[in-house]
């Protein structure tokens, strides 16, 4: 849930960048409309019309939709560096795919990460208690503190290493930018390598 006690959990309507909650209160959404994937705003008329058209034709089938090929070609045209397109349903799934590809390509297991990346095992492994980690909440600086790694295989301990590349702090003088611990974390990775290609 976003910002408990400050932001409603459920919405009744959403149009453009405006959200109306179940009590009729209106909010301007500066998150998903701002940095998220809802680039055209909520309930964009063209998108709504296209979705309705597809729903009427049948939106769920054992076969694939030809529009996915059309969109893939357009995405590659827009991003010529990309050779292929893979669709995902969530950010967490996209990150799991990226980590899987990175591990397969490098033959290494350990991943350095910064920020929130969803709920999948590779990421929550960062919160598995480790000798070098006081309380098993290494992700506390990455948006959501207290994410329990229950059910994450203990064998993944030490495979996800969070770092903070920029820490913004406010003090009496205003904003203070503190440079991060990346170099420290990277040197730790190097020190722990011990000749194995597991990081
Ligand atoms: C960088 C990043 N990765 C992954 C996620 C997880 O996305 P989802 O909730 O769609 O799984 C988020 C969500 O905020 C994100 O910002």
What does the alpha-carbon distance between residue 43 and residue 102 come to, in Å, rounded to a whole number?
Answer: 35
Of the listed ranges 57-66, 124-133, 165-174, 182-191, the one predicted with least confidence: 182-191
Comparing 170 with 124, which gets the higher pLDDT? 124
Q: Would the CB of 91 count as within 6 Å of ligand 1?
A: yes
How many residues in total does the chain contain?
199
What does the alpha-carbon distance between residue 115 and residue 166 come to, in Å, rounded to a whole number?
Answer: 11
What does the alpha-carbon distance between residue 196 and residue 182 come to, in Å, rounded to a whole number?
Answer: 21
Which residues lie below 8 Å from residue 148, measured CB to CB, with a gap of 6+? 127
pLDDT tens column, 13-67:
999 989 999 999 999 988 776 667 788 899 999 999 999 999 999 988 999 989 8
| Residue 5 pLDDT greater than 60, yes or no | yes
pLDDT at res. 169? 44
Q: Would the CB of 97 count as within 6 Å of ligand 1?
A: no
pLDDT at res. 175? 38
Q: Which atom of ligand 1 lies closest to the CA of 89?
A: 10
Cα 92 to averaged position of ligand 1 atoms, centre (Å): 5
Cα 128 to averaged position of ligand 1 atoms, centre (Å): 20
Residue 48 CA to chain centroid, in angstroms?
Answer: 25
Cα 49 to averaged position of ligand 1 atoms, centre (Å): 27
Cα 2 to averaged position of ligand 1 atoms, centre (Å): 13
Residue 11: pLDDT band (50, 70, 90) is: very high
Residue 97 in tokens: 């795919």
pLDDT tens column, 60-114:
899 998 989 999 999 999 999 999 999 998 889 999 999 999 999 999 999 999 9
Q: Would the CB of 92 count as within 6 Å of ligand 1?
A: yes
| pTM assigned to the model | 0.73
| Residue 176 pLDDT greater than 60, yes or no | no
Q: Which atom of ligand 1 lies closest to the CA of 118?
A: 6
pLDDT at res. 135? 64
Residue 131: pLDDT band (50, 70, 90) is: low
Question: What is the residue with the minimal CA distance to atom 7 of ligand 1?
Answer: 91
Comparing 171 with 157, which gets the higher pLDDT? 157
Burial call 109-146: b when 16+ CB within 10 Å, e when fewer: bbbebbeebeebbbbbbbbbeeeebeebbbbeebeeee
Q: Would the CB of 142 count as within 6 Å of ligand 1?
A: no
Q: Where are the domains of the chain?
A: 11-43, 91-192
pLDDT at res. 144? 85
Which of 87, 91, 96, 84 is closest to 37 using CA atoms?
91
Contact yes or no for 127/148 (Cβ under 8 A): yes
Q: How many helices (H) and strands (E) does the chain have?
A: 5, 7
| Residue 164 pLDDT greater than 90, yes or no | no
Q: Would the CB of 136 count as within 6 Å of ligand 1?
A: no
């Amino acid at each position: 849930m976003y910002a408990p006690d400050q932001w409603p959990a459920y919405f009744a309507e959403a149009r453009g960048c405006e959200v109306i909650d179940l009590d009729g209160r209106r909010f301007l959404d500066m998150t998903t409309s701002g940095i998220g994937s809802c680039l055209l705003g909520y309930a964009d008329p063209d998108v709504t019309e296209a979705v309705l058209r597809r729903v009427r034709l049948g939106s769920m089938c054992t076969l694939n939709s030809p529009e996915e090929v059309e969109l893939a070609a357009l995405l590659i045209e827009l991003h010529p560096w990309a050779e292929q397109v893979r669709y995902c349903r969530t950010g967490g799934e996209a990150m799991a795919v990226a980590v899987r590809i990175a591990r397969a390509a490098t033959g290494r297991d350990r991943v350095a990460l910064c920020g929130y990346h969803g709920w999948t095992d590779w990421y929550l492994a960062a919160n598995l208690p480790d000798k070098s980690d006081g309380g098993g909440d290494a992700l506390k600086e990455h948006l959501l503190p207290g994410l329990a790694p229950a059910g994450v295989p203990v064998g993944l301990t030490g495979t996800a290493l969070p770092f903070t590349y920029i820490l913004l702090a406010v003090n009496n003088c205003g904003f203070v930018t503190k440079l991060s611990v990346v170099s420290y974390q990277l040197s730790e990775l190097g020190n722990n390598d011990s000749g194995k290609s597991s990081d």
